[in-house]
A and B are shown apart, each in its own frame.
Chain A
Amino acid sequence: MPNRHARRTHAEPRTGRTADAIAAFLLAAAVLASWTAVDPKSIDSYDPPKAMLAATGIALAAAAALASRVLRRGLEPPGISLPAALLLAGAAGAAVSALASPRRAASLDALRLAAVFLLALPLGASEAYRRHRGRIVAVFGAAAALNGLLVVLAAARIWSPLVVYGYSARSGLGALVGNAGYAGIALALAAVTLLPIAVRAGRGRAFAIAAIVLCGAGLLSTQSLSAVAVAAAGTAVYAFFAGSRRIRIGVAAAAAVILLAAVLYRPMRVRVARFVRAARQGEWNAAFTARAAPWLAAAEMIRAHPAGGIGIGNFGAEYVPARIAAEARIRRRLVLPGMPTNSFAQAHNDYLDLFAATGIPAGLCVVAAFAALLGRLVRRARGDPSAAGAAALLTGAAVAAFAWFPFQIVPTALWILLESGRADRAVRERA
């Protein structure tokens, strides 16, 4: 949230203000659509409408932000940080891998959409985002809180905006995001984003606290253990770096309340007990709800194409042959009785997915870019609440990427990229 006092005393250039306002409006619309767009008449009601509207908003916002930059700085090229350079190298590797992929057309198609989403990085670093971030965070928080509320209402069997047919009670807990796991991860990252606003005195604090309560209640209702881990990791990082004792006590109290609620909420208790039982018996595939199959399949893809990958967007197409190869290698059938689907479009681990899609060299560049940014943020996090908040969000995303795919879920991908761009700019300016 912007500080009124800061706005009065800080001399801001007037040039490009209209273009910035247009970019911010389009970006806010993209953020809102990424959380709420649903097309009940489509065979895929949740993800494609979100991706379509968010990508449109990003592309047009980028055009407006570019106009603003040209007005202020002419055609002067922007400075490039080490994380940005590494990411560009990774993106170039991904493009080469798509061109060399045996399923080239499908891969280039996926690459096109990914390229549009990557524009969220420079947008996050743009003047438009710096000027209007408070408003965009407000839209983000409100959309997340709405989804949190919808998950709670659905879990309590009070009301749900859409009828979802699924194999378990959790199937209907995806709110407008569409899937209980996606919703849990997105709500966890939203809560971590709003934490720095909630713990400091200033404008928007009450709103942030209310939104965090709804996101927290929603993420517990999704019964997603990964989401709890993401929220815990992000919160711990923020509490560790944010400095003051008062903040640490506040964050610890909030964490204690969430933990207590998790213990008291029966479905969550049952889920934890199931996880612990399966882990004790050494049934890791059951503990991680059948993730062994996509993880091992991704490993087979990496083994088959270590240098160039199979091309982004091809995981689903290569999943079954890779699973069969993995079964032959480990001499075990990779199924979980009772699972309704045995097809996977993602590896359920963004790191494995990345290496499988782009190959090890390009994948390492992308991971190094992320690690370099996170490392720089961590170095500045003590005494810099903004850097601590960004480090908390990126840590949450890094944790989520082990068992989910936050870089492929529309609301989380857009937000992580925007905030990464913003963090990179802040680090560069303070260096």
Chain B
Amino acid sequence: MRGGRRGAAALAAIAFAGAGIAAVAPEWKKGAALRRLREGEALVLAASRQNDAVARAAILRDAEEVLEEAAAELPHDPRPPYLLGSASRLRGDAAGALERYRRSLAIEERPETDLNLSRAHMAAGHPRAAEKDAVRAVWLAPNLLPELPEEARIPVRNRIWQLTSDLKRGKGYPPPLSKEPKTALR
């Protein structure tokens, strides 16, 4: 009887520990991916400060490699595609940047992503979309206004004043993005 219980206890513990480890293992992978994400962020920042085109391209290649690895382990984190978008933008690939920023927005919209989407639109030659996304970014986070090019600040601020006033009078709606991502709310 006692031996039977011991065997059952050992089996139960082993089975439960195995299931527990399987449930926790993705957290360990995420931990490693979050380290890679930090490394990728530092590389993108270093590339943005690098004036030499060849050196910049080499840093961006490393950054993209590290960030793609992080993105694979963190499919629900908007930061890897966001940083990949910034790497594309620094490479001068506006279309790639737009695609990656939109991928980030599909996971979670953040004001800084809207701002960079606006920058990518501007680089791709879409000024109207760029303005729309800049307005949305500053609407969500007013502290982003100084990040806009000087000539864009006053028009964006005026547009937000107008939208705020329309909203108060019940005649308007908060500004949309140039292309709205999917949401569970609709």
Residues of A whose CB lies within 8 Å of any CB of B are: 16, 19, 39, 41-44, 48-49, 51-52, 55-56, 58-60, 62-64, 66-68, 70-71, 74-75, 101-103, 105-106, 109, 112-113, 115-116, 119, 300-301, 304-305, 310-311, 313-314, 316-325, 327-328, 331-333, 335, 337-343
Q: Which of B37, B167, B185 has the most CB of A within 10 A?
A: B185
**A59, A75, A115, A325: which contacts B8 (Cβ < 8 A)?**
A75
**Contact B164–A333 (Cβ < 8 Å):** yes
**Contact B167–A328 (Cβ < 8 Å):** yes
**Contact B34–A339 (Cβ < 8 Å):** no
- Smallest CB–CB gap between B36 and chain A, Å? 9
A-B contact pairs, 15 of them (CB 8 A): A48-B31, A52-B30, A55-B23, A56-B20, A59-B17, A66-B16, A67-B10, A70-B8, A71-B6, A75-B8, A106-B75, A112-B23, A321-B186, A333-B139, A342-B141
Q: How many A-B residue pairs have CB under 8 A?
A: 159
**Contact B38–A41 (Cβ < 8 Å):** yes
Task: Tell me the bound Cα distance from A102 to B186 in angstroms.
Answer: 11
Task: Tell me the bound Cα distance from A67 to B128 in angstroms.
Answer: 65
A328 contacts which chain B residues (CB < 8 A)?
A: 167, 173-174
**B140, B167, B173: which contacts A320 (Cβ < 8 A)?**
B140
**Contact A42–B31 (Cβ < 8 Å):** yes
- Smallest CB–CB gap between B43 and chain A, Å? 12
- Smallest CB–CB gap between A66 and chain B, Å? 5
**Contact B24–A116 (Cβ < 8 Å):** yes
Number of interface residues of B (CB under 8 A): 50
Q: Assuming A56-B28, A320-B109, what are 10 further A-B pairs, CB within 8 angstroms?
A: A42-B38, A63-B14, A63-B17, A70-B5, A70-B13, A102-B182, A305-B184, A318-B184, A328-B167, A343-B111
Given contacts A324-B174, A333-B164, A333-B167, contact A59 B76 (CB under 8 A): no
A39 contacts which chain B residues (CB < 8 A)?
A: 31, 34-35
Q: What sequence of 0s and 1s flags, for each residue 101-138 of chain B, a beta carbon within 8 Å of any chain A beta carbon?
A: 00000011111000000000000000000000000000
**A41, A101, A116: which contacts B184 (Cβ < 8 A)?**
A101
Task: Tell me the bound Cα distance from A396 to B16 in angstroms.
Answer: 33
**Contact A103–B28 (Cβ < 8 Å):** no
**Contact A321–B5 (Cβ < 8 Å):** no
- Smallest CB–CB gap between B133 and chain A, Å? 13
**Contact A342–B184 (Cβ < 8 Å):** no
- Smallest CB–CB gap between A26 and chain B, Å? 10
